[in-house]
Amino acid sequence: MPDQPTFDLVAAHKYFAADRYNKTWGFMDNPNRTPEEDLSMLHTAMASLWRWSQREDATPINFSIGYWQVARVFALLGQPDNARRYGEMSLKAAQGGEPFYIGYAYESLARAEMVAGNKAKMNEYLAQARSFAEKMEDEEDKQVLVKDLETIK
């Protein structure tokens, strides 16, 4: 194996960070995933996040989005502790950013608590997410978040 790859590593990280993120969405949108597809969904989310970690141009918001997606995957897999862990990382990375990203970080935490059956904590996070939705200037973005929050019960 050569010491240096024979391809542009920076371009590869850039390509696969986005490609794996989008691939994960395909799995997330499928309500009839097989156990193998569940595992692939987790792998693609983690691969996207790892690829972002290799990019020099990655920002805290990129990480907030990646952590959010991994949290959502763990919630879909019924793993509230892992969903909570990545939701907390999403929130930390989003701090100081736009309300959209902070709102979605709280959405991931609310979803983790929903999966855990912790209604009180879920409602606290939902309230936080809604408060950040109210601060959003882009009406379309606000409605996307509000719609996602409505799926948490």
pLDDT tens sequence across 4-24 = 777 777 788 889 888 999 999
Whether 121 shows a pLDDT value over 90: the answer reads yes
Q: In whole angstroms, give the CA distance from residue 138 to residue 149.
A: 17
Q: In whole angstroms, give the CA distance from residue 49 to residue 38.
A: 17
Please state the separation of Cα 78 from the chain's center in Å.
15
Residue 69 is assigned to a structural domain of this protein: no
Quick one: average pLDDT of 77-102?
98
On whether the CB atoms of residues 153 and 111 are closer than 8 A, the answer is no
Shared domain for 150 and 91, answered yes or no, is yes
Shared domain for 92 and 46, answered yes or no, is no
pLDDT tens per residue, range 38-71: 999 999 999 999 999 999 999 999 999 999 999 9
Residue 65 is assigned to a structural domain of this protein: no
Q: Look up tokens 């939902």; give the residue.
A: 126
Residue 70 is assigned to a structural domain of this protein: no
Shared domain for 94 and 25, answered yes or no, is no
Residue 146 is assigned to a structural domain of this protein: yes
What is the gyration radius of the CA atoms in the chain, in angstroms? 16
Give the percent of the chain with pLDDT over 70. Answer: 99
Shared domain for 82 and 48, answered yes or no, is no
Shared domain for 54 and 82, answered yes or no, is no
Domain count, the chain: 2
User: What is the model's pTM?
Assistant: 0.93
Residue 2 is assigned to a structural domain of this protein: no
- Which residue range(s) make up the domain with 13? 8-58
Shared domain for 92 and 151, answered yes or no, is yes
Residue 66 is assigned to a structural domain of this protein: no
